[in-house]
C-alpha cells in the first residue's frame, strides 16, 4: 500500500512540475515576444486613448498570455497547499508582502522615467521586468489569500472565493476596457468596492489572535501597519498613469495599472481590518499573558515534581517562577526557624538582607505565624516600622508536609498593595504543588533507604545462616538440639557444634554485639577462630581464652562477643561449661531448676591476660532426664507490645513443668512460650536456643552426625 | 557552674536524653531513657564532647536510664582506654537492677568500677586523690 501511494504522489508531483515548466517557458517566450514586438512596433501609451489598433491588440494579447502565465504559476504553487492560520504564517506573509512591495517601489523610483516607454532594447527589457514584478507581487498576494482561505474550506467560503475570483476577473476586464471607454474605469471601481466589502465581511476570524502575548500582538500590529502603508503607496503609484510602474504595466497590457491598483485597494482594506482586529484584542493582552504564564509555571513545577529533584532545587525554581509570574520585586524560600533558619533560595535579594529582616521581631512573627497563605498589603499595618525597610507588602506561603511546616515561600514588593489577589491565589497553588513535591521527594528517599536497608539485612542474614550448623550430631548419652531464629535485622547470634582436641564433642553459643552486616562479619571471623582453636583446646575455658587471644586487637573498640561453651564427657556422663559474659545456663535436674553462672568476662572488653584470670569452668554430672538450656539474650529479653521482657523466670517455670522427652521438644516449647509472650510483636534480636538432654538409654555411636 | 548538652532522639517510642553537670572533681553525666542501637551513636558523640571539654574523671549517673543494649555498652569501651592513659577514669553509678544485671553478666565489673550511688563514686574519687 505505501508504495502505491508514493507512486501516485510522485506522479502528481511530476505532472505538477511539468506543467510548471511549461508555464514558465510560455511566460518567458510571451514576454520575449512582447518585448521584441514592442521594439519593432513601438506604441506610445499616450495614444492609448485613441482606441484599439492592430498593433496594440496583438501586444495586449501577448501581454495577457504573460499575465496568465504568472497566474497559472501561482495557481500551481498554491494548489493542494493549505496555509495554516497562525501568528507565524500571517506575520511571515505581512513581512514578505511589505518588503516585496517596497522593493518594487524602490525599483520603480530608481528606474529613470526616460527609459520607460521609449524605443530600444534596454527600455523594452526594463519595462517588462517592472511590469512582470508588479504582476508577481499582486498575484502572489492573491495566491496567499486563496491558500489561506482554503485552510477552512466551507461551502460559504468556496462561494466567497469564486465571487472574489470573478470580481478580480471583472477588475481585469475593466482595466482592459478602460483603454477605450470610461465605463471600464467605472467597472474597476465598482468591482473593487464590492470586493473590498466582501473582504471586510469575510475576513478570517483568527481564533489564535486573542491568546497571543502582548509583544506578539504589537509585532502583528506593526507588520500590518507596514503592509497597509506599502499598499497606500502602491495605490497612489498605480492609479496615476504617468508613474514609472504604471507606464511599465500599461506597456505590457493596456491599463493593467488600474487592475493592479484595485487589488492593492482590496489588500489595504484587509490589512486595515486586521489592524482593527488586533487593536480590539489588545486590552486583554496582559490578562492573557498572565494566565498563559500561570499555566506554564504550574506545568513547570509539575515537571519538576516528576523529576523528584532535591528540595533545594525545587525551592529555587519556585522562587524564580514566583518572581516572574507575580512581577514581585523579590522572593526567597526558607527552611527551619530561629538559629537553624536556612535561606535556601533568593531572587533579587541577598541572603544577608533576608537574615536582617528576620532580626525584626514583628516580621519574624508575621512569617512564623502564617499557618496558611497570607497576603500582607502593608507591613505598616502590622506595626512594622517601614521607614528603614524596602519591603512594604508581602505574600507568605507556608509549605507543610504531613501537617508539619517544612518550608516557607515569601514574595515581596517595595510598594504597599503590591500584590494582586490573583498573585495570592497562584502562589498558594505553588505552595500546594511544592508540598506534594517535597513529600514525594521524601518518600522517594525513604523508599530508597528502606530498599538499601532491606538488601543489607538480606545479605547479613545470608551470611549468618551460612555460618550455622546444618547437621545435629548424635552423641552417646546426649540428646542435643539447637535452633537460631534471626530477627529482621540480624542480631549477631551464632551457635555451632565443635570437636575438641581430645575428640570430645561440644557446643558453642555466642552473641556478637552489634547488628546487620558488621555483626554478621564478626560472626564469620568468630566461626573461623572457633574452628581453628578448638582443635587445640583442652576444654571450654581454654577455648574461650584462646579465642580472646586470637580476637584481641581484631575487633572494634565498641564491639565484644559473649559466648558460652559446653564440652561433653560421655565416659563420666558429665559436661564442662564455661561462660564469657554470656547468658547463664539453665539446668533442670530431679531436684528442680537452677542457674549455672560461672565467672567470666565477655571477649573483647578486657585484655586476654585479664580474661584468663576471670574465666571459670564448672563440671556438671548429669543423670537421665536432666536438661541444660543455653540461650542468647534474645530469649530472655524478648519483648511484647508493652515492652515487657519475658525474663528468665518464665523459662525456669517452663523447664520445671515440662514433660518433654527430647531436646527438640524442649526447644519447641521454649519457642512457643516466646511466641505466646510476644503476642505478635517484632523480634528485635535473634533468638538462639540449644537444649541438651541426658539420656544414657538411647545410646548411639559416638560422633555420628544425623 | 552548670552546662547542659541536651539531645533527644525519638526511636519509635523510646527516647534517650543526656545531660551533664560539672563538679570540682568530675563531670557527672546523667542518662535518661533508652540507650539502644538507635541512640548509641548520638550518645557517643555527646560523651566525646563532654570528655574532650571537661575533666579527666567522668561519673556516669544511671539513675534514670531504663534500658541499655549491647550497642550502648560498647560506647563506654570506646573511651575508657584513652581516659585512663590521661590519668582519668570513668565511674558508673546508681544503676537500676535490670541495667546492673546486664553489666554484671558481661563481667563489666572487671573493667569499670560500679557504685550504688553518685555520692559514693564521688567519695571514691576523693579517696584516690
Contact B106 A605 (CB under 8 A): yes
Contacts of A558 in chain B (CB under 8 A): 44, 71, 74-75, 77-78
- Looking at chain B, the whole-number percentage of residues with pLDDT higher than 90 is 29
The predicted-structure confidence for B2-60, as pLDDT tens digits, reads as follows 333 333 333 345 688 898 888 888 889 999 998 887 888 889 988 888 888 877 889 99
Is the four-CA dihedral A439, A440, A442, A443 of positive or negative sign?
positive
Tell me whether strands A561-569 and A574-580 are parallel, antiparallel or unpaired.
Answer: antiparallel
Contact B71 A606 (CB under 8 A): no
Query: Cβ(A208)–Cβ(A78) under 8 Å?
Result: no
pLDDT at A207 (0 to 100): 77
Q: Where is B62: in which H helix or E strand?
A: strand B57-68
The string over B69-100, giving b where at least 16 C-beta atoms fall within 10 Å of a residue's C-beta and e elsewhere, is bbbbbbbbbbbbeebeeeebbbbbbbbeeebb
Contacts of A614 in chain B (CB under 8 A): 107, 110
Chain A residues within 8 A (CB-CB) of chain B?
Answer: 511, 513-515, 556-560, 562, 580-584, 599-602, 605-606, 610, 614, 643
Minimum-distance CB partner of B74 among A558, A562, A601: A558
Query: Which regions of chain A carry the CATH code 3.30.450.40?
Result: 288-445
Contacts of A557 in chain B (CB under 8 A): 74, 77-78, 81
Contacts of B44 in chain A (CB under 8 A): 558
Q: How far is B21 from chain A (nearest CA, A)?
A: 24
Closest CA to A100 of A88, A108, A89: A108
pLDDT at A372 (0 to 100): 85
Domain A288-445: CATH class, spelled out: alpha beta
Q: Please, what is the end-to-end C-alpha distance for chain A in angstroms?
A: 76
User: Which stretches of chain A score pLDDT less than 70?
Assistant: 1-16, 38-56, 116-120, 152-153, 179-180, 308-309, 337-339, 697-706
CA A376 to CA A348: how far, in whole Å? Answer: 19
Closest chain B CA to residue A600: B107
Contacts of B42 in chain A (CB under 8 A): none
Q: How far is B75 from chain A (nearest CA, A)?
A: 6
Contacts of B108 in chain A (CB under 8 A): 601, 605
CB contacts < 8 A, A to B, total 59
**Quick one: angle between helices B70-85 and B97-106, nearest 10?**
70
A555-B19-B9 Cα angle (round to 5): 65
Report the SS3 class of residue A456: helix
Contact A557 B107 (CB under 8 A): no
Contact A600 B107 (CB under 8 A): yes
Contact B106 A584 (CB under 8 A): no
Q: Please, what are the domains in chain B?
A: 8-124 (3.30.750.24)
CA B102 to CA B35: how far, in whole Å? Answer: 13
The CB density around residue A119, as the number of other CB atoms within 10 Å, is: 11
Closest CA to A433 of A299, A554, A633: A299
Bridge partners for A586 per DSSP = A595, A629
Closest chain A CA to residue B66: A643
Bridge partners for A399 per DSSP = A407
CA B62 to CA B100: how far, in whole Å? Answer: 9
C-alpha cell at A176: 482592459
pLDDT at A700 (0 to 100): 44
Contact B110 A557 (CB under 8 A): no
Q: How far is A493 from chain B (nearest CA, A)?
A: 13
Closest CA to A670 of A698, A705, A625, A628: A628
Contacts of A616 in chain B (CB under 8 A): none
Quote the mean pLDDT of chain B.
83
Contacts of B8 (CB under 8 A, 6+ apart): B15, B16, B17
Dihedral (Cα; A374, A378, A383, A385), 10-degree rounding: 130
pTM: 0.55
pLDDT at A613 (0 to 100): 93
Q: CA Rg, chain A, in Å?
A: 50
The CB density around residue A149, as the number of other CB atoms within 10 Å, is: 20
Q: How far is A633 from chain B (nearest CA, A)?
A: 10
C-alpha cell at B24: 570540682
CA A30 to CA A658: how far, in whole Å? Answer: 124
Contacts of A602 in chain B (CB under 8 A): 106-107
Q: How far is B105 from chain A (nearest CA, A)?
A: 5
**DSSP character for A331?**
E
On the question of pLDDT at B117 being above 70, the answer is: yes
Per the CATH hierarchy, to which homologous superfamily does domain A469-705 belong? PPM-type phosphatase domain (3.60.40.10)
The CB density around residue B27, as the number of other CB atoms within 10 Å, is: 22
C-alpha cell at A147: 491558500
Tell me whether strands A330-335 and B8-11 are parallel, antiparallel or unpaired.
Answer: unpaired
pLDDT at A42 (0 to 100): 55
pLDDT at A49 (0 to 100): 46
Query: Which regions of chain A carry the CATH code 3.60.40.10?
Result: 469-705
Contact B74 A602 (CB under 8 A): no
Contact A602 B75 (CB under 8 A): no
Minimum-distance CB partner of B70 among A513, A584, A610: A513
Bridge partners for A350 per DSSP = none
CA A156 to CA A333: how far, in whole Å? Answer: 58
Amino acid at each position: 500500500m505505501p508504495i502505491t501511494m508514493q507512486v501516485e504522489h510522485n506522479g502528481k508531483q511530476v505532472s505538477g512540475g511539468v506543467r510548471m515548466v511549461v508555464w514558465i517557458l510560455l511566460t518567458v517566450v510571451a514576454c520575449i515576444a512582447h518585448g521584441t514586438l514592442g521594439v519593432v512596433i513601438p506604441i506610445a501609451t499616450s495614444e492609448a486613448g485613441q482606441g484599439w489598433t492592430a498593433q496594440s491588440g496583438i501586444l495586449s494579447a501577448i501581454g495577457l498570455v504573460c499575465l496568465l502565465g504568472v497566474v497559472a504559476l501561482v495557481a500551481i504553487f498554491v494548489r493542494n497547499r493549505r496555509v495554516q492560520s497562525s501568528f507565524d504564517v500571517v506575520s511571515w506573509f505581512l513581512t514578505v508582502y511589505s518588503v516585496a512591495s517596497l522593493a518594487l517601489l524602490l525599483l520603480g523610483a530608481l528606474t529613470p522615467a526616460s527609459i520607460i516607454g521609449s524605443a530600444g532594447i534596454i527600455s523594452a527589457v526594463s519595462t517588462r521586468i517592472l511590469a512582470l514584478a508588479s504582476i508577481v507581487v499582486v498575484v502572489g498576494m492573491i495566491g496567499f489569500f486563496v491558500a489561506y482561505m482554503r485552510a477552512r474550506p466551507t461551502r460559504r467560503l468556496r462561494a466567497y472565493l469564486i465571487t472574489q475570483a470573478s470580481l478580480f476577473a471583472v477588475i481585469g476586464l475593466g482595466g482592459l476596457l478602460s483603454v477605450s471607454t470610461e465605463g471600464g474605469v467605472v467597472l474597476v471601481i465598482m468591482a473593487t468596492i464590492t470586493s473590498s466589502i466582501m473582504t471586510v465581511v469575510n475576513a478570517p476570524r483568527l481564533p489564535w489572535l486573542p491568546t497571543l502575548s502582548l509583544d506578539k500582538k504589537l509585532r502583528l500590529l506593526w507588520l500590518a501597519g507596514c503592509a497597509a502603508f506599502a499598499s497606500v503607496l502602491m495605490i497612489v503609484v498605480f492609479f496615476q498613469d504617468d508613474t514609472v510602474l504604471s507606464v511599465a504595466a500599461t506597456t505590457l497590457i493596456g491599463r493593467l495599472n488600474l487592475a493592479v491598483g484595485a487589488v492593492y485597494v482590496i489588500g489595504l482594506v484587509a490589512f486595515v481590518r486586521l489592524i482593527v482586529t488586533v487593536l480590539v484584542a489588545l486590552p486583554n493582552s496582559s490578562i492573557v499573558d498572565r494566565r498563559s504564564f500561570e499555566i506554564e509555571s504550574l506545568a513547570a513545577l509539575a515537571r519538576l515534581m516528576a523529576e523528584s529533584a532535591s528540595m533545594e532545587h525545587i525551592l529555587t525554581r519556585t522562587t524564580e517562577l514566583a518572581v516572574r509570574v507575580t512581577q514581585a520585586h523579590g522572593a526567597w524560600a526558607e527552611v527551619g526557624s530561629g538559629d537553624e533558619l536556612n535561606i535556601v533560595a533568593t531572587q533579587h535579594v541577598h541572603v544577608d538582607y533576608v537574615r536582617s529582616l528576620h532580626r525584626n521581631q514583628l516580621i519574624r512573627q508575621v512569617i512564623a505565624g502564617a499557618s496558611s497563605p497570607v497576603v500582607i498589603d502593608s507591613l505598616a499595618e502590622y506595626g512594622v516600622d517601614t521607614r528603614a525597610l524596602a519591603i512594604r507588602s508581602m505574600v507568605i506561603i507556608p509549605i507543610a508536609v504531613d501537617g508539619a511546616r517544612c518550608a516557607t515561600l515569601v514574595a515581596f514588593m517595595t510598594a504597599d498593595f503590591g500584590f494582586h489577589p490573583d498573585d495570592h491565589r497562584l502562589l498558594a497553588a505553588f505552595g500546594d504543588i511544592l508540598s506534594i513535591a517535597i513529600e514525594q521527594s521524601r518518600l522517594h528517599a525513604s523508599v530508597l533507604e528502606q530498599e538499601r536497608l532491606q538488601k543489607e539485612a538480606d545479605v547479613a542474614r545470608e551470611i549468618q545462616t551460612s555460618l550455622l550448623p546444618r547437621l545435629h550430631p548424635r552423641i552417646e548419652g546426649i540428646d542435643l538440639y539447637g535452633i537460631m531464629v534471626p530477627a529482621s535485622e540480624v542480631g549477631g547470634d551464632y551457635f555451632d557444634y565443635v570437636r575438641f582436641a581430645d575428640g570430645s564433642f561440644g557446643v558453642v553459643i555466642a552473641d556478637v554485639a552489634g547488628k546487620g552486616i558488621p555483626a554478621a562479619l564478626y560472626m564469620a571471623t568468630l566461626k573461623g577462630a572457633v574452628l581453628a582453636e578448638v582443635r587445640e583446646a583442652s576444654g571450654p575455658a581454654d577455648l574461650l581464652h584462646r579465642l580472646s587471644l586470637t580476637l584481641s586487637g581484631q575487633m572494634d573498640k565498641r564491639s565484644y562477643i559473649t559466648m558460652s561453651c559446653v564440652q561433653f564427657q560421655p565416659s563420666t556422663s558429665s559436661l564442662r561449661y564455661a561462660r564469657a559474659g554470656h547468658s547463664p545456663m539453665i539446668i533442670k535436674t530431679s531436684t528442680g531448676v537452677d542457674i549455672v553462672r560461672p565467672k567470666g568476662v565477655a571477649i573483647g572488653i578486657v585484655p586476654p591476660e585479664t580474661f584468663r584470670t576471670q574465666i571459670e569452668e564448672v563440671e556438671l554430672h548429669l543423670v537421665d532426664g536432666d536438661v541444660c538450656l543455653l540461650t542468647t539474650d534474645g530469649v530472655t529479653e524478648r519483648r511484647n507490645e508493652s515492652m515487657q521482657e519475658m525474663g528468665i523466670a518464665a523459662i525456669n517455670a517452663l523447664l520445671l513443668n515440662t514433660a518433654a522427652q527430647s531436646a527438640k521438644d524442649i526447644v519447641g516449647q521454649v519457642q512457643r512460650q516466646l511466641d505466646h509472650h510476644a503476642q505478635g510483636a517484632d523480634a528485635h534480636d535473634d533468638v538462639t536456643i540449644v537444649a541438651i538432654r541426658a539420656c544414657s538409654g538411647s545410646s548411639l555411636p559416638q560422633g555420628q552426625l544425623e | 557552674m552548670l552546662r547542659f548538652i541536651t539531645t533527644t532522639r525519638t526511636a519509635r517510642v523510646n527516647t534517650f536524653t543526656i545531660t551533664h553537670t560539672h563538679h570540682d572533681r568530675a563531670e557527672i553525666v546523667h542518662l535518661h531513657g533508652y540507650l539502644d542501637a538507635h541512640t548509641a551513636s548520638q550518645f557517643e558523640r555527646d560523651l566525646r564532647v563532654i570528655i574532650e571539654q571537661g575533666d579527666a574523671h567522668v561519673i556516669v549517673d544511671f539513675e534514670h536510664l531504663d534500658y541499655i543494649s549491647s550497642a550502648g555498652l560498647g560506647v563506654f569501651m570506646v573511651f575508657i582506654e584513652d581516659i585512663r592513659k590521661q590519668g582519668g577514669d570513668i565511674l558508673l553509678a546508681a544503676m537500676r537492677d535490670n541495667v546492673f544485671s546486664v553489666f554484671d553478666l558481661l563481667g563489666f565489673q572487671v573493667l569499670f568500677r560500679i557504685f550504688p550511688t553518685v555520692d559514693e563514686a564521688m567519695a571514691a574519687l576523693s579517696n584516690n586523690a
